[in-house]
Structure 1
Amino acid sequence: MRARSVLEHYLTDFTASKYGRDKSTVANKMADNGATLMLLNGSDDGSNPAAELDGQPLFQEEIQVEGGTWYMTQNYEHRDATFEEILHLVHDYGIGVDGYSQFIGALPNYQAEIRHAQLEALKRDIWGMGSFSKDWIDELANENSLSQEYLASVIDAYYGLWGAYPSQPMRMMEENTGGYGMWGVYIAANRDEVQQRDPIGYQLAEDFFQPYLTYDAHLDPSLSGVFSLQYDENKLYTNQSRYLKDVTVTGNNEVDIVVNALDNNITGNSQLNRVIFSGFKSDYLIGLEGEIVRVTDKVAKRDGINQLENIEILQFKDEDILVSELTRQ
């Protein structure tokens, strides 16, 4: 489900963008070109012969699920490669890559901008950084994969996948390159750093990719306690969860959700679930629309407009409200 959700996210129209207003052309090109995603057991250790088949591999041990242990601890020994590998699929078979005898993608002008940004990043030494990267860059050049790997570095940082990396004791590269994106080969580890340090790459992201994750994240059934959609430097996973908009609680544990400003849709499970807001109850408008509780923050750019289903308690700074009592009013 996670892999499908990320693919659907990449292919969801972004009407306010330059190249992503109608992504059906990209999706159709992927179909025409036979794009295939292979979900493989194990890890990328060379032992699975299926990885040699014609398709984009994604291994079991490099898929993180929101709310799962690897996600919550930001475990880079099982780092989340889902966004990178599925982006390669979309890029190679949908957007298109120059440098071949024929361009088979849907967006040649966008690829031209990606190529320009990749060349500038190498020239400025903000991507492919470090002495350990030289052989890798040469290998990518021989494969004509430079633009794909550069774009993946940008988008991984844009969605916060490397925001926790500077805080982790385990790092693959010992050499200090001055950046923490993609194991240290990219200058930016988070969205703010992309904007500040690689503005050309940041514009690439803005021109096609949604600013938040458009899929409904089904939280891992093992999760219990609080799951926050607000960035908190003391909760490493919020480097990623800050970009989630919609979540569904699964499993049989009690889970509470802290909302963010993205107009969240929150669905609970069969247990006791509460949704936690930033302000006092008087700051919000609360209404019922059938089985849906609608909570609107009157303070701009804080908690947004939230639609809640199967939620038992609304928690504000000054009091808790039982949803069951709302239905009796």
Structure 2
Amino acid sequence: MNLNKRKYVVNSVSVILLSSLFLGCGGNSIKTTATDTTQTPTTGTTPTTNPNVNNLGISDIPDKLIKIYTTALKFDRYTKIDTPNGGSIHIIAQTEIMDNQIVRARGILQHYLTNLPGSLYGKDKSEVANKMADNGAILLLLNGVDDGTNAGAELGGQPLYYGEMQVEGHRWYINQNYEHRDASFEEILHLVHDYGIGVDQNSEFNGALPNFQAEIRAAQVNGLSNKLWAWPQDQARWIAELTAENSLSQEYLASVIDTYYGLWGAFNSQYGMWGMYIAKTRSDLAVKDPQAATLMDNQFFHSYLTYNARIDGSFEGDFSLKFNTSLSYTHHSQYLKDITLTGSKNSNVIVNSMDNDITGNSGENMIIFSGPSTHYDISNNDGVLIVQDLQDDRDATNTLRNIEKLKFTDSVINSSDF
């Protein structure tokens, strides 16, 4: 999506948006269960000026926004990310969207806006976030799929549809179902790129990072001219459309990001992004598209996913944070660090080499480690277990809450023993 192309829509609601920047979502928390939020849509109630926020940070839509994002158009819930300049980036959802999908979308947006200390362009992302608020950035989470029938898509905002929003642990995610492929990283990146980072070759540059965009543009031009991206002949019409709306750099960067975070590792092709990007996995980038690899190397994007992933309440069994060639979803889950099990099913977690933070659900949960128990230091800090691997480059240090058992290669230990 091109910011200038959409600006006429955003401007039509600018007065409402500017007013809503100062709306609070305060009030008493509404207690909801994780199981409820993963299984059924939540229907919004009559909106109030200061709507109550539930324990997931989701509320009814504030009055100033619901005048446009109406219940007649099936919008019923709201969350936001506040920006350093006092503004907000709004996330507005329709009726079919699950609460865990809303939380994940907000988490991915926050991930992109989380500072990356020591990086070239991402050590302080406050100006990117501020620009997004100033430019009226809105993420719309829409029912159904992108088939042209959802009238809500005509309003101001970056659309992301139910049918392309995976949640960790859900069957679409576990099976890496590309009929419901995970477009969240792509579409939310478009929002950050268009409204925050900024896009060149428009009448004016509306972003915070012109130098970073210059590097993105150079990599995109190289990728297109050297047939690293969108080279198949059947993409010619699409490329012409992107050129006309000045969206080439955004779509190229989305292909790179999807590969970087493992979203195409299980795809039945030697290439990524529907077979039109030369690099399929992160290890491919440095060899097949070095300029893209440079964009990912300590410039703006984190090497792991910084949000806390809520594992869908339908999941039961062992959820692996460690890459396993026999588990297709681990192409993606290997980049997770922190997770929360939801629901009540008995679920276990296989740790990876990062410092994982893991919270259990109301079932019985076990954490699975790579070595014998004698290789670990285990301590209890006010009910929080800290399990530190004494061997380097293996299981790191894990912070565990509401976990019943620890499984090592030589034994299973009850957490209550500590």
Which TM-score band applies after superposition, normalised by the shorter structure?
A: over 0.9
Which letter does structure 2 place at the counterpart of 1:239? Answer: H
Superposition map of 1:15-164 within 5 A:
15-164=117-266
Of residues 291, 295, 316, the one that matches 1:200 is: 291
Superposition map of 1:273-292 within 5 A:
273-292=365-384
Contact 1:217–1:246, Cα closer than 8 Å, also in 2? yes
Q: What secondary structure, in the 3-state scheme, does the structure 2 residue paired with 1:182 have?
A: coil
Corresponding position of 2:20: none
C-alpha displacement of 1:166: 2.5
Which letter does structure 2 place at the counterpart of 1:259? Answer: V
C-alpha displacement of 1:300: 1.1
C-alpha displacement of 1:325: 1.5
Deviations 1:304-326 (A, max 9, x none): 10000100111000001111122
C-alpha displacement of 1:191: 0.6
Deviations 1:278-302 (A, max 9, x none): 0111111111111111011111111
Which letter does structure 1 place at the counterpart of 2:333? Answer: S
Corresponding position of 1:210: 302
Q: What secondary structure, in the 3-state scheme, does the structure 2 residue paired with 1:5 have?
A: helix
Q: Is 1:186 the equivalent of 2:277?
A: yes
Superposition map of 1:178-327 within 5 A:
179-206=270-297, 207-326=299-418
Corresponding position of 1:171: none
TM-score using structure 1 length: 0.94
Q: Distance in 2 between matches of 1:127 and 1:286?
A: 48
Q: What secondary structure, in the 3-state scheme, does the structure 2 residue paired with 1:119 have?
A: helix
Long gaps (5+) in structure 2: 1-102
C-alpha displacement of 1:195: 2.0
Q: What secondary structure, in the 3-state scheme, does the structure 2 residue paired with 1:148 have?
A: helix
Q: What secondary structure, in the 3-state scheme, does the structure 2 residue paired with 1:232 have?
A: coil
TM-score using structure 2 length: 0.74
C-alpha displacement of 1:52: 2.0
Contact 1:129–1:184, Cα closer than 8 Å, also in 2? no
Q: Which runs of 4+ in 1 moved over 2 A?
A: none
Q: 187-196 or 107-116, which moves further after superposition?
A: 187-196
Long gaps (5+) in structure 1: 168-178
Count, aligned residues:
315
C-alpha displacement of 1:132: 1.1
Q: Distance in 2 between matches of 1:286 and 1:325?
A: 10
Q: Distance in 2 between matches of 1:147 and 1:185?
A: 15
CA RMSD of aligned residues (A): 0.9
Corresponding position of 2:42: none
- Greater relative contact order, per chain length (Cα 8 Å cut-off, separation 6+): 1
Which letter does structure 2 place at the counterpart of 1:84? Answer: E
